[in-house]
Structure 1
Amino acid sequence: MPTYRDEAVVLRTHKLGEADRIITLLSRTHGKIRAVARGVRRTSSKFGGRLEPFSHVDVQFASGRNLDIITQAETLHAYDAPLRIDYGAFTAGEAMVETADRLVTEEGEPALQQYRLLVGALRTLGSGTPCGPRPATMILDSYLLRALSVAGYAPALASCARCGLEGPHAGFSPEAGGMVCQACRPPRTALPSDDAWTLISALLAGDWPTTAEVSDRARNEVSGLIAAFAAWHMERGLRSLPLVVR
């Protein structure tokens, strides 16, 4: 069988037969891959523990007829280790890998930006930002905004998402695509506070210094807006998002 090698993050796993698993990964070069890991549920498996969700691994595959086969896996970074002892970080990580799985729909198509975003977000969850620790929910919100932007759903934050009128405007509408002016506001449009607008822009840009002094009220306000924005543009809500500790 032809073989190939790639770096990847494990997104999810499914049982197959008595001892195998189907592993879904987001890889650096080959995009999303679904492959069979034979015998990994046996206690004698040499690399079963390396193929758990959140793990960043160097994997060798053998090309198969329907699904490729994982023949070797080496751990690059055990991002799952710190998350499994912190429930808040764990639930945020679950939402991240589910988002990556949903946004990268085509298997075998390169998705380098999504891969890099996910690796960086999981690393930040476990070790903190360059400017110090931040709440897991804040890291998740930044990841959601940036991953959606890479997928083509960047929120409008400087002008009206509908008519293009230069802002700032007071309204935020997930279904409209972000900021909306008075004339374009749909029913039930949110009116974020000034602090919330500042935080949304900082999270989208990855501007961690600006997020240092943020009130719990503004952070919770932004989390609700981003969750609604993500649910609208991914057509249905993330199953893991209601479990995130806020």
Structure 2
Amino acid sequence: MRKESYRDRALVVRTYDFGEADRIIVLLTRGNGVKRGVAKGVRRSKSRFGSRLQLFVDVDVQLYPGRNLESITGADTVAYFGSGIIDDYGRYTAACAALESAERLAGTAHDGDPWLFDHLAETLARMQTTEHPTVVLDAFLLQAMAHAGWAPSLFDCAQCQAPGPHHAFHPAVGGAACVRCRPPGSAEVPEEALHLMWLLAHAHWPAALEAVESGEGQHLSAVAHRMTRAHLQWHLEQKVTSLGVMDQT
């Protein structure tokens, strides 16, 4: 049966060289999940669309199905999010972490669900101008985990549902834990940090930014980031390399 080419919106989440002139492009598509395609000849200076197949680009892409890889036969730029990101190290590392996390999270989603694509595009647009890139990243991760069905409990105890606020957090039990349910190795977390995570998870941006810019905001956002990262990697059962690079700075 002859396969037909198709078009979809896509965000470039990863690229790597292949052969002498080709490049493998990993795409988060809006309607078909993650697709890996080969763009032939794009490393040559006369490539028709090589410059469009870069990180932080939203493209209208044409794909032809293959046995192991799709063939990318066309790409038109819809939006470019690199401005404001690629020249700022904090935004760049946070945006790269969002791209890699989205690729991993897409493995838990159903093809045809446009939510992750739309959410990532919105996050990259916000990342272009934010003064708090880590906070924007954490909001993306918390909302994406909620969409995947494994959001952390941030007020009631994740085990027994005892009303909070609580001061312990462990991803193995699902987030916040009361004094009776907290497992060994739980992190001691200020309730204000869990509240910040709740604000980010529900996209309450004015209140979240007010908390981040308060006197204790830097400490609270650092704790919230550690808990968000721990919960993500526990449920993915693998490390997100870009998060490690980002947190070394």
CA RMSD of superposed structures (Å)? 1.8
Aligned to 2:158: 161
Aligned to 1:86: 88
Q: Which moved more, 1:236-245 or 1:213-222?
A: 236-245
Cα separation, 2, equivalents of 1:194 and 1:155: 14
Q: Which moved more, 1:55-64 or 1:37-46?
A: 55-64
Using a 3 Å threshold, how does the CA distance of structure 1 residues 206 and 69 change in structure 2: closer, same or farther? same
Q: C-alpha offsets along residues 120-156 of structure 1, whole Å, 9 cap, x if unaligned?
A: 11111013xxxxx440010011111111222221111
Tell me if structure 2 keeps the 8 A contact 1:32–1:107: no
Tell me if structure 1 keeps the 8 A contact 2:12–2:54: yes
Q: Which moved more, 1:205-214 or 1:191-200?
A: 191-200
Structure 1, unpaired ranges of 5+ = 128-132
**Alignment equivalent of 1:196, drawn from 180, 193, 200:** 193
SS of corresponding position for 2:23: strand
Q: Percent identity?
A: 39
1:184 has 2:181 as partner: yes
Tell me if structure 2 keeps the 8 A contact 1:160–1:167: yes
Tell me if structure 1 keeps the 8 A contact 2:155–2:194: no
Aligned to 2:22: 20
Aligned to 1:33: 35
Using a 3 Å threshold, how does the CA distance of structure 1 residues 107 and 204 change in structure 2: closer, same or farther? closer
Cα separation, 2, equivalents of 1:237 and 1:108: 22
Cα separation, 1, equivalents of 2:226 and 2:110: 33
The amino acid that maps onto 2:238 is R
Runs of 4+ in 1 over 3 A off after TM superposition: none
Cα separation, 1, equivalents of 2:203 and 2:92: 21
Structure 2, unpaired ranges of 5+ = none
**Alignment equivalent of 2:53, drawn from 51, 54, 78:** 51
SS of corresponding position for 1:244: helix
Deviation at 1:236, TM superposition (A): 2.2
Report how many residues are paired: 241
